[in-house]
């Protein structure tokens, strides 16, 4: 933890600075290659800034975006913030060393979960574009907190407009397959080939999932995380035809795609 968390803005988009002492150096050899989007889950931005800068809370992030679009920087981008917690993506477990974290002010599911205002979403898009371009972060490595911590986290949730954000040049997106009448879930223990296929596709994209196994609660937790990002109409963790179709069209990122020019 730095005794003197004085920071300077990393981008001209920053309106205010609110340094957090909850920081440390990135692990040797790490630079930002992932962008993680969160919601604060707290009633006001003032409360969020307080929690994210209190040493006893042991959490922080690089940026907070208020409902009015104001961007506040808390941690320098070259520094490791404490935002991802126990997490995983594509074989990496120190997500804090590998990422930049943006907290979007929204009280979250426990406090009503309102829509994200358009002015706030425009600020999310502008800041995310700026970060991904400067650090060469590939679209498929713009992720939800729920992607890297399935089950433990569900933010930014099913109301966050990933499709719109991709249209603004941030993140990877495929249109979800529609949920048709009679789109039945694949029952546990049956249609094992489809279950194996889903496991392989989830793992290849980056999710933490065993390559073999039944349609068990652990897999359903990861499926729900995928749905929260890519099939938001119904996030129930079930492997139905819509989910499998959407997952099949997601594409598997190759190692050469980890960075963009």
* Per-residue model confidence as pLDDT tens digits over 13-71: 999 999 999 999 999 999 999 999 999 999 999 999 999 999 999 999 999 999 999 99
* pLDDT tens, position by position, 57-73: 999 999 999 999 999 99
Q: Decide: helix, strand or coil at residue 255.
A: helix
The rounded percent of the chain whose pLDDT value lies above 90 is: 87
On the CB side of 42, how many CA atoms lie within 13 Å of its CA? 17
Q: What is the pLDDT of residues 94-128, one digit of tens each?
A: 999 999 999 999 999 999 999 999 999 999 999 99
Query: Is the domain of 20 the same as that of 130?
Result: yes
- pLDDT above 80 for 8: yes
- Read off the pLDDT band of 6 (50, 70, 90): confident
How many CA atoms are closer than 13 Å to the CA of 162, on its beta-carbon side? 28
Residues 152 and 54 in one domain: yes
* Spacing of C-alpha 12 from chain mean position: 23
Q: Residue 4 — very low, low, confident or very high, per pLDDT cuts 50/70/90? A: low
pLDDT in tens, 229-261: 999 999 999 999 999 999 999 987 754 445 544
The reported pLDDT for the residue numbered 180 is 82
Report strand pairing: 142-144 vs 34-39: parallel
How many Cβ atoms are within 10 Å of 165's Cβ, its own excluded? 19
Judge whether residue 3 has pLDDT over 70: no
Q: Report the CATH number that the domain containing residue 66 is assigned in CATH.
A: 3.40.80.10
Q: Please state the rounded mean pLDDT for residues 199-225.
A: 95
**What is the pTM assigned to this prediction?**
0.94
User: CB-based contacts of 114: which residues, under 8 Å, 6+ apart?
Assistant: 106, 107
- Domain for residue 10, yes or no? no
Pull the structure tokens for residue 254. 């190759």
| Angstrom distance (rounded) from CA 191 to CA 145 | 30
Enumerate long-range contacts of 114-117, CB under 8 Å, 24 or more apart: 115/159, 116/156, 116/159, 116/160, 116/161, 117/67, 117/68, 117/69
Residues 154 and 27 in one domain: yes
144 and 226 in a single domain? The answer is: no
For residues 97 and 213, membership in a common domain is answered with no
Is 78 among the domain residues?
yes
pLDDT, the chain, mean: 93
Q: Based on the structure, what is the number of domains in the chain?
A: 2
Domain range holding 203?
192-257
| Residue whose C-alpha is closest to residue 103's, from 78, 135, 127, 80 | 127
Just list the catalytic residues. Answer: 103
- 152 and 39 in one domain? yes
Tens of pLDDT, residue by residue over 191-203, are: 888 999 999 999 9
């Amino acid at each position: 933890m730095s005794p003197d968390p004085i920071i300077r803005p990393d981008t001209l988009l920053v309106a205010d600075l609110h340094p957090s002492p909850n920081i440390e150096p990135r692990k040797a050899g790490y630079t930002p290659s992932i962008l993680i989007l969160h919601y604060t889950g707290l009633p006001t931005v003032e409360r969020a800034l307080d929690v994210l800068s209190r040493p006893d809370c042991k959490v922080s992030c690089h940026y907070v975006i208020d409902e009015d679009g104001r961007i506040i920087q808390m941690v320098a981008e070259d520094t490791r913030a404490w935002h991802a917690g126990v997490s995983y993506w594509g074989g990496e477990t120190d997500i804090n060393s590998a990422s930049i974290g943006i907290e979007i002010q929204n009280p979250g599911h426990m406090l009503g979960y309102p829509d994200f205002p358009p002015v706030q979403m425009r600020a999310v898009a502008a800041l995310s574009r700026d970060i991904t371009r400067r650090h060469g972060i590939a679209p498929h490595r713009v992720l939800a907190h729920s992607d890297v911590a399935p089950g433990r986290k569900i933010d930014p949730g099913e109301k966050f407009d990933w499709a719109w954000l991709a249209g603004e040049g941030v993140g990877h997106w495929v249109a979800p397959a529609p949920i048709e009448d009679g789109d039945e879930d694949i029952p546990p223990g049956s249609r094992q080939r489809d279950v194996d296929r889903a496991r392989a596709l989830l793992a290849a994209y980056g999710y933490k999932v065993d390559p073999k196994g039944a349609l068990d609660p652990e897999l359903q937790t990861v499926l729900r995380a995928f749905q929260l990002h890519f099939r938001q109409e119904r996030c129930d963790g079930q492997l139905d035809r819509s989910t499998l179709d959407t997952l099949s069209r997601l594409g598997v990122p190759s190692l050469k795609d980890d960075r963009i020019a």
